[in-house]
Structures are given as C-alpha cells and as structure tokens.
C-alpha cells in the first residue's frame, strides 16, 4: 500500500513523515539549504507487524507541481496535511483537485 502526502508548502508534510517513519525524506542539498521539498521523498512505515506502507512525500511549492503529480499517480491513500495556524491555502486546494482527478482518496 502506498501512502502519500499532499498540502501547501510549509504545512508539515515532511515533518509528519519523519515523525511517523524516523526518515527525513528531504535528501537533496538544495532541499536542506532552502528548507523546502523539491523532489519526491520516500520512506517506509509499519504501524503493526504485517501491515506496511511505502510513503511518498511530495513538494508543496507551486513551482514543483509536476513532481507532486508524479508522486500522486502511485498513491493508494493520501494524508492531506493542513497547518492549523494557516488553514486551507492555494496549494492545499490544488493538491486536493489533482488527487480527486487521479481518484486518490
């Protein structure tokens, strides 16, 4: 089962993946320097024995929407991440629209 993230830039997608898996999916030097996800990140998550997820962390910045779409095409389930201090933002809506078109729930 492939679990993916979606949501606006800086709403905590990568932090959530790291909290669940212990893996920092931002692996590129530029991602570290800029503090944003640019390319797809990958991790594994097993909430209980025999029940495993592959995790895809997607970028939230509008300039990297192609990477988000590439990651979303392989998702079975998605965690739509919304920062409580900002609420729904433009990329939240765009990601949700893309997920609905792709039939990801």
Percent with pLDDT over 90 in the chain: 99
Tell me the pLDDT tens digit for each residue of 7-55: 999 999 999 999 999 999 999 999 999 999 999 999 999 999 999 999 9
The DSSP annotation for 45-73 comes to EEEETTEEEEEEE---SGGGHHHHHHHHT
- The CA distances from residue 7 to 15, 24, 46, in Å, are 12, 17, 23
Residue ranges of domains in the chain, CATH in brackets:
2-102 (3.40.50.300)
Name the residues annotated as catalytic.
10, 13-14, 61
Q: What's the token pair of residue 48?
A: 């209980």
Instruction: Give yes or no for residue 105 having a pLDDT over 90.
Output: no
Q: Is 50 left (phi over 0), alpha (psi -120 to 50) or beta?
A: left
Q: What average pLDDT does the structure give for the chain?
A: 96
- The predicted model gives 70-89 an average pLDDT of 97
Find the helix or strand (DSSP H, E) in which 41 lies. strand 41-48
User: What pTM was estimated for this model as a whole?
Assistant: 0.92
């Amino acid at each position: 089962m492939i679990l993916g993230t979606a949501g606006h830039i800086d709403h905590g997608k990568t932090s959530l993946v790291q909290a669940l898996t212990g893996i920092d999916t931002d692996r590129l030097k530029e991602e570290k320097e800029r503090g944003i996800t640019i390319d797809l990140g990958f991790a594994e998550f097993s909430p209980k024995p025999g029940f495993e997820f592959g995790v895809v962390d997607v970028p939230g910045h509008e300039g990297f929407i192609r990477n988000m779409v590439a990651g979303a095409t392989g998702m079975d389930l998605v965690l739509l991440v919304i920062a409580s201090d900002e609420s729904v933002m433009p990329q939240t809506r765009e990601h949700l629209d893309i997920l609905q078109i792709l039939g990801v729930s």
